[in-house]
Structure 1
Amino acid sequence: MPIHLIWGDDYEASNREIQEIIGRVIDPVWKSFNYSQIDGNDPKQNFRALEEVQSAPLGNGGRIVLVRRSPFCNVCSIELANKLEQAIKLIPDNTHLILNNSNKPDKRLKTTKLIQKNIESNPLSKEKSFNLPLPWDINGQRKLVNNIANKLNLKMDNETIDLLVESIGNDSSLINTELQKLTLLAEANNKILNKEESTKITQELVKQSTQNQSTNALEIAGILIKGEKCIALNKIKSLLENGEPALRVIATLTGQARGWLWVHLLDSQQKLDIKEIAKLAGIANPKRIFVIRKQIHGQSFEALLELMKKLLKIEASIKSGTNPIDSFKDNLLTESKILTNN
């Protein structure tokens, strides 16, 4: 009776883990009979999931019941909890229940304790969490890039990883897509034939791939800091209409705003040299500090913080499914203390 508890806000990584389980457990020939995906927001479907996991697979391979937005470890009714307690004893050894939710399991719930007891006692059961690093967690973003690169059998030095972090930010899906594109570029340039060998991704290759997009987004950041919101919105609209991913744009803007905040804060707190400021702010190239100081000259910390809040709201709005340009308009055009001079 294997149970897989997969949670966290990194949807891309969670989906990769789920697909790996599916590929390992299910015989492709029998997938239409042995794979079910359930919407956990529908109470009736949750009860159906618990009925289905009690069935043995047909033909070869195993069976999987996947519950997206699973309520079992977060908000679970008494009736559903009682049904889980009955069903968990009847799940066949070759039928797998995957419970997926973006939220952390509530350890106080009876159902969570029951599931975790199963995970501890069954070597085939697993709990895995996939959380995106916060926008200001540079080390976490570096680790995210490195982990995805390892899965794709890529080699990169620290400077190349920093360049990707600056260009993309903490979006797991975009990082994965960009690294796959870079892999194709590297293989085309080097005519790599042996797929067993790690592909090396260089700084030059990353610059070749991301330079135009990053430069445009950085130009927009410079316009925003001047308070010219309508001009910035027109340029954002143009980028999106030309196929630039909205999350890449917002990642670049957020990264720039984060750098402004850190440099403003560190400059106002104590006298530090640029290398110390760059290290504390997570900026790979210390020479960027001089550029940032010029950009934020005359800006208040409160105004920069307000811009950062708006950008984070835009990111959350886009990820929730709102039309990207509407997300930018709704948040950037609202009245606030945004970018007022001291």
Structure 2
Amino acid sequence: MPIHLIWGDDYEACNREIEEIIQTVIDPSWKSFNYSQIDGNDQKQNFRGLEEVQSAPLGSGGRVVLVRRSPFCNGCSIELANKLEQAIKLIPNNTYLILNNSNKPDKRLKTTKLIEKSIQSNSFSKEKSFLLPLPWDINGQRNLVKNILYKLNLKMNHEAIDLIVESIGNDSSLINTELQKLSLLSEAVNGKSNTNKPQEISKELVTKIIQNNSTNALEIANLLLQGKKIIALNKIQSLLKNGEPALRLIITLTGQSRGWLWVHLLDAQGNQDVKEIAKLAGIANPKRIFVIRKQIQGKSLKVLLELMQKLLKIEASIKSGANPIDSFKDNLLTDSKILTNN
């Protein structure tokens, strides 16, 4: 009765882990019979999932029942908890129950204790957490890049890793996508290695691809800072039409805006230590502080806060499924009211 408890806000890493289990357990020829995905927000589906997990797989291979937004470790009804207690004893050895939630399991709950006890008693069961580092946690972001490099059997030096951190931040999905692109380009340039050794990605290649991708976005950020909204929107529209991912664009813009805001606030407090400012602001390269100071010279806190607010609204709108260009237009061309003492 293998149970996998997978949680955390790094959705990309969670999905990779889940997909790896599915590919290992299920025979592709029998997947339509032996794979079920349950929405944990639906009480009826939860009960159905607990029924299905008691069934042995059809044909060859194993069965997987995946519960997205699982309620079992974060609060569920007494009836559902009782059903879990009954079902968990009847799960066949070749049927896997995967419980996935972005939140940390509540260890005080009876259901959590039951699941963790079951995991401990079965060598095929596992609990894994995948948490994104905070925007100002540079070492955490470096480790995130290193972990994805390891998964893709790639390697690069610390300078190349810092370039990726500066350009992408803690977006696990984008990091994974860009590293795969870099891997393919490296193979095209250098040829595919015949060994199992990690493929090395040079700093020069990272600089060429990653920084070139963010150049236009940084130019747009500067236009927005100068109040040239129409010119910025035209460039945004052109980038999106040419296939630039909307989320990568907005993440670069918010990252730049966040850096401006932090440096402005820390400078206002009289902090002159460039390394400390870079650490607090989540900027990998302290030399960027001097550039940022020039960019925001003469800009008020109110202007920076307003820009940051607009960009965060755009990001939330795009992630909610809105049309990207409409999100940019609706928010950038609308005046915001910021409460500040400055």
Q: TM-score, normalised by structure 2?
A: 0.91
Contact 2:135 2:282 in 1 (8 A): no
Which residue in the other structure is 2:321 paired with? Answer: 321
Work out whether 1:307 is the aligned partner of 2:307: yes
Residue matched to 1:151: 151
Distance 1:318 1:129 in 2: 26
Q: What corresponds to 1:187 in structure 2?
A: 187
Partner of 2:94: 94
* 1:109 and 2:105 aligned: no
Q: How does 1:187-266 map to 2 (within 5 A)?
A: 187-266=187-266
> Structure 1 residues 182-191 or 321-330, which shifts more?
321-330
Per-residue CA deviation, residues 136-155 of structure 1 (Å, 9 max, x unaligned), is 33222211111101111111
Distance, in Å, in 2 between the alignment partners of 1:95 and 1:187 is 39
What is the percentage of aligned positions where both structures have the same residue? 80
**Aligned partners of 1:49, 1:195: CA distance in 2, in Å?**
43
8 Å CA contact 2:55, 2:92 repeated in 1: yes
1:75, distance to aligned residue in structure 2 (A) = 4.0
The answer (yes or no) to whether the contact 2:136–2:280 under 8 Å persists in 1 is: no
Which residues of 2 match residues 14-29 of structure 1 at below 5 A? Answer: 14-29=14-29
The code of the aligned residue for 2:292 comes to I
In 2: Cα distance, 1:231 partner to 1:141 partner? 33
Structure 2: tracts of 5 or more residues without a match:
none
Task: Judge which range, 128-137 or 175-184, deviates more.
Answer: 128-137
Correspondence for 1:33: 33
1:195 deviation in Å? 4.5
**Equivalent pair of 2:138/2:279 in contact (CA under 8 Å):** no
- Please report how far the alpha carbon of residue 47 of structure 1 lies from its aligned counterpart in structure 2 after TM superposition: 1.0
Contact 1:136 1:258 in 2 (8 A): no
SS in 2 for 1:4: strand
Q: Which residue of 1 aligns with 2:335?
A: 335
Rounded to whole Å, the distance in 2 between the matches of 1:2 and 1:151 is: 24
Q: Determine the C-alpha separation between the residues in 1 that align with 2:313 and 2:109.
A: 31
SS of structure 2 residue aligned to 1:127: strand
Unmatched runs of 5 consecutive residues or more in structure 1: none
Spell out, residue by residue over 1:168-187, the C-alpha distance to the aligned partner (whole angstroms, 9 max, x if none): 22221111111011001111
CA drift of 1:57 comes to 1.8
Q: 1:98 Cα deviation (Å)?
A: 0.5
Which amino acid in the other structure matches residue 76 of structure 1? Answer: C
Secondary structure of the residue that 1:89 maps to in structure 2?
helix
Q: 1:329 to 1:120 in 2, by over 3 A?
A: farther
Question: Aligned letter for 1:38?
Answer: I
Question: Aligned partners of 1:174, 1:150: CA distance in 2, in Å?
Answer: 16
Cα distance, 1:304 vs structure 2: 2.2
Cα 1:135–1:233, aligned 2, differ >3 Å: closer, same or farther? Answer: farther
Give the counterpart letter for 1:198 in structure 2: P
> RMSD of the alignment, in Å?
2.4
Task: Provide closer, same or farther for how the CA distance between residues 215 and 201 of structure 1 changes in structure 2, counting only shifts above 3 A.
Answer: same
Preserved CA contact (<8 Å) 2:67 2:98: yes
**Pair 1:108–1:59, CA change in 2 (3 A):** same
1:78 maps to what in 2? 78
Aligned position for 1:178: 178
Question: Do 1:8 and 1:14's aligned partners in 2 also have CA atoms closer than 8 Å?
Answer: yes
Read off the aligned partner of 2:54 and give its amino acid letter. Answer: Q
Q: Structure 1's 111 and 271: CA in aligned 2 closer, same or farther, altered over 3 A?
A: closer
Deviation for aligned residue 1:2 = 1.4
Cα distance between partner residues in 2 of 1:109 and 1:332 = 45
The separation in 2 between residues aligned to 1:44 and 1:284, in whole angstroms, is 48
Q: Distance in 2 between matches of 1:337 and 1:291?
A: 28
Contact preservation (8 Å) 2:7, 2:129: yes
Q: Are residue 141 (structure 1) and residue 141 (structure 2) matched?
A: yes
Aligned length in residues: 342
C-alpha contact (below 8 Å) 2:5/2:100 kept by paired residues: yes
Q: Do the aligned partners of residues 305 and 276 (structure 1) sit closer, same or farther apart at CA in structure 2, a change above 3 Å counting?
A: same
Mapped partners of 2:130, 2:143: distance in 1: 12
SS where residue 305 of structure 2 aligns? helix
Post-superposition shift, 1:333? 3.4
Task: Classify 1:95/1:271 alpha carbon distance in 2 versus 1 (closer, same or farther; 3 Å).
Answer: closer
Distance 1:293 1:62, change over 3 A: same
The answer to whether the 8 A contact 1:303-1:337 is kept is: no
C-alpha contact (below 8 Å) 2:160/2:207 kept by paired residues:
no
Q: Secondary structure at the match of 1:307?
A: helix
Please state whether the residue corresponding to 2:90 is helix, strand or coil. Answer: coil
